[in-house]
A and B are shown apart, each in its own frame.
Chain A
Amino acid sequence: MNCHVRKILFLMRLTTVILLGTMLHLSAATFGQKLNYVNKNVSLEQLFKEIKKQTNYNVVWYEGKLNTARAINADFSNVSLDQVMDKALSGLPLTYTIRQNNIVIKEKTPSIIDKISNILQGLSKDINIRGKVINENNKPLKGATIKIKNTNRSVITGEDGNFYIDKVHEKTILVISYLGYKTIEKEASENLGEIKLMESLNELAEIQIVNTGYQSISKQKFVGSFAQIDNKLLNRSVSTSVIDRIKNVVTGIYFQDQDLQLSKIATYPFDKNSGITVRGQSTLNASKEPLIILDNFPYEGEIKNINPNDIENITVLKDASSASIWGARSGNGVIVITTKKGKQNQKMSIDFTSNLTIVNKPNLKYGRNFLNSNEYIEVEQFLFDKGYFDNQLNDNISFPIISPAVELMSKFKIATSDIQRSQIQSQLNELKKIDVRDDYNKYIYQRAVNQQYSLGIRGGGNNIAYTLSIGYDNNKNNLIRNGYNRVSMNSLNTYTPIKNLELTAGINYSQSKTLLNNDYGYGYFNGLGSPYVSLYPYATFADKNEQPLSILQNLRRSYVETAESTGFLDWELKPLDEIKLANHSTNVSDLLLKIEAKYQILPELSFQLNYQNERQIIEERNYHNLDTYYTRNLINQFSIVSGSSSTTYILPKGGILDLSNTNWKSNNFRGQITFNKSFNKHNIDCIIGSEVRQLNTEGYARTSYGYSQQFGSSIDNLDYASYFSINPSGFSTIPAPPGFIGGFLNRTISYFSAGNYEYDGRYTISLSARKDGANLFGAKANDKFKPFLSGGAGWSLYKEPFYKFNWLPYLRLRTSYGFQGNTFQNSSAYLTGFYTIDDITKANFLYVVSAPNPRLQWERVKNLNIGIDFSIKNNIISGSIELYKKAGLDLIQPKNLPTQTGFDTYLANSASTETKGIDLTLTSQNLKENLKWSTTLLFSKQNDNVTKYDTPYNSSSISNGAYLVGKPLSSIFSYKWAGLNPKNGNPRGMLNGKVSEDYAAIINNFNPDSLVYNGSQVPTIYGAFRNDFSYKGFSLSVNITYRLGYVFRKPSTSLSYENILKTGQNSDFTFRWKKEGDEKSTNVPSVTYPGDTYKDSFYQYSDILVESADHIRLQDIRLAYDISPRLAKKFLVSNLTIFTYANNLGIIWRKNKSGIDPSSVGNTFASYPNPRSISFGINANF
C-alpha cells in the first residue's frame, strides 16, 4: 500500500487568521488541548488546519481513506481535541491515534474494538429510529430507501412512507433516497418525524422558470418547446456578443458561420443579419431574424450593445405555444435574454470577470480561388498574344489599367535587342515568384486580441434590490487598424415603497466604436478597372525595405507616374499608406430606459405597467485627409492642369469628410393583468393585456469637401450641377453631397392573452391568443389586424398512480399547435417609389421601387410540436425528444411577370414551405464520484421543403438558387455531367437523354427533370457532442460539433481566359484539360478564348463540382480551475475561477476529398476557415 502521508502544514499564518489565533486560549495538556472554532459547514480539511494552528497537532491520514471535503458544523468552544476528532469522524469507519504531535487517522479495527472504544468513551449508544418519508405535497413516499451510510444496511419505506430501523449508532448518518427526488442525509435520532424529499429533475435544469418576456412559468407547467441556456453554459464560451454564446449548446438553432473580420452594423432594423435560424427557415423573402427580447420588450438595437456578463440566462422559444404570444414577429423563433438582477434581502455580491482572447490570422492560402503568379502570367501572355489587350495598350485617352506583366509583354514585343529581351524576361520571371498572399499576411493582417472586463454589484435590502454593472471590451481585429471597443453600463433597481407595490427602474447604456480603417482585406480589393476585377497574384504591397508600394487602380502606371510632374497631386495608391491614413469609424450608442410598476391587488392578482424607451444612435465618420488616395484621386480627376506650376482645383484641395447618422427611437408601452392561483389541485396562470409599440428610425448622410480637421471648416459653395471635363478623359459633375433623409416608422398595436391551467400537477393546458395590427399591410383598415392563436397540453405521466416504471422516474409528454407571424418590410399595396436626383438633368425624379399588390399581408407559420421529457434512474440519462412540423404559409415571393407589364416581378403571398424536424437532447452522468463526467448529445434534424412556389424553374434559376416545389429551400441543383470531350476537352452534359455540348440548349431546357438535385445547402442534421469532466477544482469541457446531410458547390476555374482576369481565378486552372488523354486524369475542361458564356455556366453549375459538405469538427475546449474557497479567501474573494478556452480548433472528419472546410467564411473570392482562437480569463466573486 502506498502510504503517502500527507501533512497539513504551512499556509495559514496570515492576516485575519493570525488575529483569530491570538484570541485563543491554549492549554499545555497533551490530550487536554482545547479548541475554539465556530463555523458552519466547514470542511474537515479546514478543521484540521485549525487544529494545527491552535494546538500545533498535525492531523495525518491515508490518502483516499478520508474525504476531507466532507463538511461538518463546527461548534467548538473550548472543546477538547478528542471530542473534536470524534465529531469530525463521527459516522465514518475511522478512528485515530496520537503519536507525538501527530493525530493519525486510520481505519477502525473490527467492530469489537469499535464497540469497546465507544463504551469507553461513553459518548454514544445504539438507538432505534423511526420516521416517515413524504414528498413536497406531503404525500407519503412508498419504497424510499433509507441506508445507513458506509454500511450495507438499508430499509425501504412502506405503504404509508413509514420506516423503522433498530440498533443504530447514535451519530450514524442516514442516506434517504427515492427515484426522481433529491437524495438527502440525516443524522440518526430516535424519531426523525417527517422527512420531506424534493423532486429532482434534470440536474442541468437548475433554472426552474421559463421567461417568455410576458410571464414566468415554472418548467413543470410549460408545454411549449424551448431551450434554456443557464448562466454556467452561457459563460462556457468567450465572446463579445451575447448571441455567440448560444452557439452549439442547444438543439434546433443553427448558426451560419460568419466572417469574424467583418463588423457589419445594421443601420436599419431590417438589415440585421445574425445568421441564426431557429428550427430552420419558414420564409423566403421576409425577415429571417429571430425576435430578440431583452427582459420584457424586443431589443431593437445592435445585439452587440449587450454585455454578455450582465446576462443571467437565455431562453429560446421554438414552437407556437411558447412564441406565438409575440405574434406577428415570432415566426422565426424568439430569443429571450434575461439579465442578472439583485434580490431583496440579499447580501451584496460583486462579480468580476476578465478575459483575453487571441485569434490567429486567417489562413489566406486556404482558398482555392487563387491562381499562382506563374500561371496567371501564362494566362495574360496567352491573351496578350491574341491581341486582347491591344485596345487597352493603344488607348491614350482614358489610359486604362495595364497590369505589370502585360506592360512587360508589351515592352518585350517591341524590344530590339536580345539583351533587352532577356532583361524583360527576367523581370517577368521575378513576378512569377510573387505570391500576394504573403504580403497580405505580413502587412495587412495581424493576430486579433480581444479583451473583456466586467464588474457587477448586486444585492438588496428590506424593500430594495439593486444591480449595477459596468463592462469594457476592447478588440483588435485581424485586419490591422480595425477593431471594436465597447463600454456598457447597466443599472436596475427595484423598490417596494408600500406593501404590494413594486417599482422597477432600469437603465442600460452602451457605447461602442468600430474601427474600419482597413479596407484592404484579402479578396476585398476589387475594381481594379476593366478587364481586371480582383488583384493580380503578383502584386506587392511593400518593397524589400518594407516601404509601401503602389498598386494599380483604373489608370495605367505610366500615366500615374508622370501625373505629379504634370501638375497633379501624387496619383499613386499605396494600400499600406492608406491603412495608416484611414480615419473611419462607426460609433453606436444605445440608451435604454425602463420603468415597471407592479401592483399586487390580491395575492393572486396583479396589475402591471411597463414602459421602455430605447434610443440608438449610429454615427459613421469617414475622414479622407488630403493624403488619402480617395481624396487625391477625386481632386486630380477634377483638376485643370496646365503645366507643372499652375493647377486649377475645381474640388478644393483639402480633406473630404463623410458623415452619416442614423437614429433609432423605440417606445413600448404595455399594460397587463396577471392572475396566478393555486387551490386544491388546481393551478391557474393567466395574463391579459395590450401593448403599443413604435419604432422610428431616421438617418442621413453628408459629405464635406475641402474639410479641415483643424478648423472644422469646409467649402460648401461648389458647383454640383455643371459638367467638368475630368482627367484623363470624360466629363462629370462633382459628386453632390447626399441630402437624403431616410427612415422607417413601424407602429404596432397588440392585444394578447395567455392562460395556463394545471390540474394536480399532472395535466396542463395552455392557450394563447394575440392580435396584431401594424402600419405595414393592407390598403384597408380591416386588413391591418391579424390574429395569432396557439394551444398546448402537457401530461406528467410519472405522477400518475398507475405509473410503475421505477427505472424511468420522470416522464412527461407535451404538445402544442398554433400560428406565428412574420413581417415583410419592403412592400406595399401600391406602386411606390422614392424621389432622387437624375444624373443628367438634375431633376428630382421618382424612382419606382415596386409593382403594386393590394392583397399583401403577413406571412404565417403554422407550428406543431410534440415533446417527451424523461430521466432515467438517478439521472443516468435524461433528456428530451421533440418532433415538430412547421409550415410557412402566405409567404411573400417575387412572382414573375411577363415583362410587357413593365416589371419582371411583383410581390405576392403565394408561396409556402414545410419543415419537419427532430430535436433531441440527451445528457448522461457517466461518473459521479470524485471524477465527474457527463456527456451531452445535441441532435437536430430538420428537413424543409417548398410546398408552393409560383415561379417556375427557368434558365437562371440554377445560378440564382431558385425554389422548386418538393425540394429544400436552399437546394443545390446542377447539370448532369457526362465527362470531358476527349477531342477538345469541352465539358459535356445531357440533353434529352443524349450526351451533348449544346450548352445553350441544356441551360434553356427548363424541365427540371434534366437537372440533378444534389441536396440541401444547409445541414439537415447538426448538433454537438459535449463532454464535461470535473475533478476537484478542475473542469474540462470539450465540444465536438457536426453538420451532416448537405452539399456545397465547389468553385472552379472559368473556362475562358479573359474571365480568369475577372473573377475566375481558381487553382483548378492548373488541372485543366490540355491535350488528348488528359480527360482520364482530370475533370477540369479545357480553357479557351474567346469564352462561351453558356459553356462556362454549364460547367460552373455541373454536378461534378458539387460535393458533400458533411463534417465533424472539434469546436472548442474549455479548461477551468475553481480555486478552493480557502485559497480564494486569501485573495479576499469567495469564488475564483480561472479558465482557458480554445475555439475553432479544426475539422476532425470531412466527407469531401478536396480538403475544403464547408464552413469556411469570407467573400466569394477569398474564403478561409474561421481562425483558431484561445482565451484566458478569470471570474471572481466577492
Chain B
Amino acid sequence: MLIFKQMKKMKSHYKFSSFIILLIIIISCKKQNDWLDTKSIKSYVVPETLDDFQALMDNSQVFNTSSTAGLVGSDNSYLTDVNYNSSAQENRNLYVWAKEIWITENAPNHWDNSFKIIEYANVVLDGLIKLKGSGYEYNNVNGEALFHRALAYYNLAQLFCKPYDKMSISDLGLPLRKTSDVNEIFPRSSLSQTYQQIIQDASSASELLPESQIYLQRPIKAAAYALLAKTYLNMDDYKNAEVYADKYLKLKPQLLDFNNDQLVNLTNIYRFPVYGKDNPEVVFYAESNQFRQVIPSTSNKGLVLMDLYNSYEENDLRKIFFYQKVATDVKFRGGYSGSFSNFTGLATNEIYLIRAECRARNGNPISAMQDLNLLLQHRYKSGTYNSKTINNPDDALITVLEERRKELPFTGNIRWEDLRRLNKETRFQKTLTRLINGTSYTLIPNDKRYVLPIPTQEIRLAGIQQNER
C-alpha cells in the first residue's frame, strides 16, 4: 500500500517519462523493420536477376569440369607397378576396377559435382519462371540452364548407370530433379526416363541457345546438337544421332588442320591452344576435374599403351602432337584443353566420327568414309593422306571405330563409353586385363563393374538403390 502512496507523489514525473519512452517505441516500431531489412554480409547475393543467373552459370569450376573416372578404367593407358603404387588410392581402385571405389562418403568430383550443376540449373530455371521474361537474354539463360542439366545427366549416366539398352527398360537411371528445393528427394528413375529427360532438355536448349557466345565455356546451339548426337549414339538410335550430327555440322563444319603451326605447335608443352581458345573444333569447353595423376600426360604417371601408339601411321601428325616419347615410354599431351587437364568438352572431330559411324551403320559406307577422309586430311602431313573408299558398311564401321579410338583416346570418358556401348555387340566385345604387383585383374564384357558405385552418403540419406558390383 505504501508503495502506491509514494508513487502517487511522483506521478507527474512518471507520466512524463513513460510518455517519452512510449513515443520512442512507437516511432522506432514503424521504422525498425525497414531498418532491419538489410543484408548483413556485404558481398552476399541472392540470385534474382538474369545477370545473377548468368553469373551463376559462369562458374567454370562447376559448369566446365567433369569426371574422367571412366578413363582411368579404360584400355588406352596403363600404369607400371611403381607408378601404380605411388598413385592415390581412389585412382588405384578405379584402375583395377575394385569393388569399392570412393574413399569417403562422397564423391565430390563425380556424382556430387554433376548434381551441383543440376541444382544450380534448377535454381536458374525456377528463377526464370518467377521473372516471366522473354527475349534473347532470357532465352539464352534458359537454354544454358537446360543444356547444363542435360549434359550433367548425360555424364552421370555414363558412370553410374548401365549402358542404355532398349530391351531392358527397367534398368535403373538417375534421380530426376526438376526443382531447386533441397527438401525434395527423388528416387532413381528408369534409365529410359533418364535418357528421355536428357533429350528433352537438350532439344529445348538447342532451340533457345544462340549460335555463338563470348566464351567457349558457355554452350551454343551446336553444343546442344552435339549432346543430342552423342546421346542418341549411346542409345543405339543411329538415325537420330545422324540427324543431330548433320545439324551440328551445318553450323560448325570447320576442322583444325594440324599443319597449322599457329594453332598446333610442338614447342607448346601441351601442343593445342590453351582452354580451346581459337581452336575451331571446340564448341563447348570443359576439362577433367581429377585423376590427372593417372591420365597419361606430361609429368603424370599413366603411360600410353604401345599398341595404340603404334597404330598411328608415320605421316599421321597425331602421333607427334598427341604424344611424347620419354625413353621407351609414351606419354599423352595432346588434349584440346591445351593444359595438363584432359579435355572433356564437345568438339567437331567427335561429331564427324559420330556421323561417320551412323552413316556406316545406316548402310551408307561411302558417305561415312567421306566424313572420315575429311577429318584425316586435317590430321596428316599436308598432301600425304590418301582418301580411303570402303563399300562394305561393316568394314567402314570397323575403320571408323578404329579411327574413333585414335582420334579421341583421352577425351572425356569417350573410350569408357565406347567400351560399354560396344560390349553390347558381340563382335566388338573386349576383355580388359591388368597385371599389377604380380596380381592379374580382369574386366569381362558387360561386367557389373562397368557401373560405378553411388557414393554412400547418397544411398544412406536418399535411400536410393545402390549399383551392384
Contacts and interface: CB of A to CB of B under 8 A. Distances in A.
Interface of A: 386-388, 390-391, 394-395, 397-398, 400, 601-602, 604-605, 607, 671, 673, 677, 679-680, 682, 684, 688-690, 692, 698, 723, 729-731, 740-747, 749, 751, 773-776, 781, 784, 825-826, 828, 830-835, 838-841, 843-849, 851-852, 896-904, 906, 952, 954-956, 1000, 1004, 1006, 1058, 1089-1090, 1092-1094
Contact of B46 (A784, A830, A845, A904): A830
A849 B116 contact: no
The 4 closest A-B pairs by CB, nearest first: A902-B119, A898-B462, A387-B82, A845-B58
B44 A831 contact: no
B216 to A, nearest CB: 8
A832 B28 contact: no
Nearest to B118: A902
B44 A386 contact: no
B32 A903 contact: no
Contacts of A828: 41, 44, 46
Contact of A397 (B111, B298, B456): B298
A742 to B, nearest CB: 5
Nearest to B44: A832
A673 B186 CA distance: 58
Contact of B456 (A839, A1004, A1058): A1004
A601 B11 CA distance: 12
B175 A900 contact: yes
A832 B455 CA distance: 26
B116 A902 contact: yes
If over half of A's interface residues share one DSSP class (helix, strand or loop), that class is named, otherwise mixed; here it is: mixed
Nearest to A607: B17
B40 A834 contact: no
Interface stretch (B99-107, B136-144, B400-408): B99-107
A454 to B, nearest CB: 38
A391 B458 contact: no
A388 B298 contact: no
Q: Which of A682, A731, A826, A845: most chain B CB closer than 10 A?
A: A845
10 contacts: A400-B299, A605-B17, A671-B21, A682-B2, A744-B40, A747-B38, A828-B41, A843-B215, A906-B182, A955-B105
Interface in B19-60: 21, 24-25, 28, 32-33, 35-47, 52, 55-60
Contacts of B215: 841, 843
Contacts of A899: 106, 111-112, 115, 455, 457-458
Contacts of B339: 731
A831 B180 contact: yes
Nearest to A826: B41
A832 B46 contact: yes
Contacts of A847: 59
B2 A679 contact: yes
B326 interface: yes
B55 A845 contact: yes
Nearest to B90: A1093
B269 A775 contact: no
B105 A956 contact: yes
Contacts of A745: 38-40, 42
Given A731-B274, A900-B462, A751 B25 contact: yes
B33 A900 contact: no
B40 A776 contact: yes
Nearest to A906: B182
A834 B43 contact: yes
A440 B115 CA distance: 48
B424 to A, nearest CB: 28
Nearest to A841: B215
Given A904-B457, A1089-B85, A838 B59 contact: yes
Given A745-B39, A901-B119, 18 more contacts: A397-B269, A398-B299, A684-B3, A690-B24, A740-B43, A745-B40, A784-B33, A828-B41, A832-B45, A833-B44, A843-B58, A843-B215, A846-B47, A847-B59, A852-B182, A902-B116, A954-B456, A954-B457
B177 A601 contact: no
A688 B20 CA distance: 12
Nearest to A531: B86
Contact of B35 (A747, A900, A901): A747
B169 interface: no
A846 B100 contact: no
A444 to B, nearest CB: 33
A852 B184 CA distance: 13
A395 B327 CA distance: 12
Contacts of A742: 41-43
A1090 B437 CA distance: 11
A450 to B, nearest CB: 37
B325 interface: no
B454 to A, nearest CB: 9
Nearest to B186: A900
A749 B119 contact: no
Q: Which of A602, A698, A773, A904: most chain B CB closer than 10 A?
A: A904
A954 B89 contact: no
A1032 to B, nearest CB: 53
Contact of A679 (B6, B35, B115, B455): B6
B83 interface: yes
Nearest to B327: A394
Nearest to A842: B215
Nearest to A743: B42
A741 B36 CA distance: 22
Contacts of A1058: 86
A245 B119 CA distance: 51
A902 B180 CA distance: 9
B299 A397 contact: yes
Contacts of B455: 899
Contact of B37 (A688, A781, A825, A1092): A781
Contacts of B64: 840
Interface in B204-247: 215, 217
A631 to B, nearest CB: 26
Contact of B217 (A604, A840, A1006): A840
B10 interface: yes
A394 B25 CA distance: 77
Nearest to B82: A387
Contacts of A684: 3
A738 to B, nearest CB: 12
A1094 B93 CA distance: 12
Nearest to A672: B21
B301 interface: yes
B180 to A, nearest CB: 7
A900 B42 contact: no
Contacts of A400: 299
A784 B123 contact: no
A733 B431 CA distance: 45
A542 to B, nearest CB: 33
Given A698-B42, A841-B215, A784 B269 contact: no
A830 to B, nearest CB: 4
Contacts of A601: 13, 17
A642 to B, nearest CB: 14
Contacts of B24: 671, 690
Nearest to B80: A387
A846 B44 contact: no
B410 interface: no
Interface string B66-82: 00000000000000001
A390 B33 CA distance: 67
Contacts of B25: 690, 751
Contacts of B301: 391
A369 B13 CA distance: 72
B217 A841 contact: yes
A835 B52 CA distance: 9
B4 to A, nearest CB: 12
Nearest to A834: B43
B299 A848 contact: no
Contacts of B3: 679, 682, 684
Contacts of A830: 46
A680 B2 contact: yes
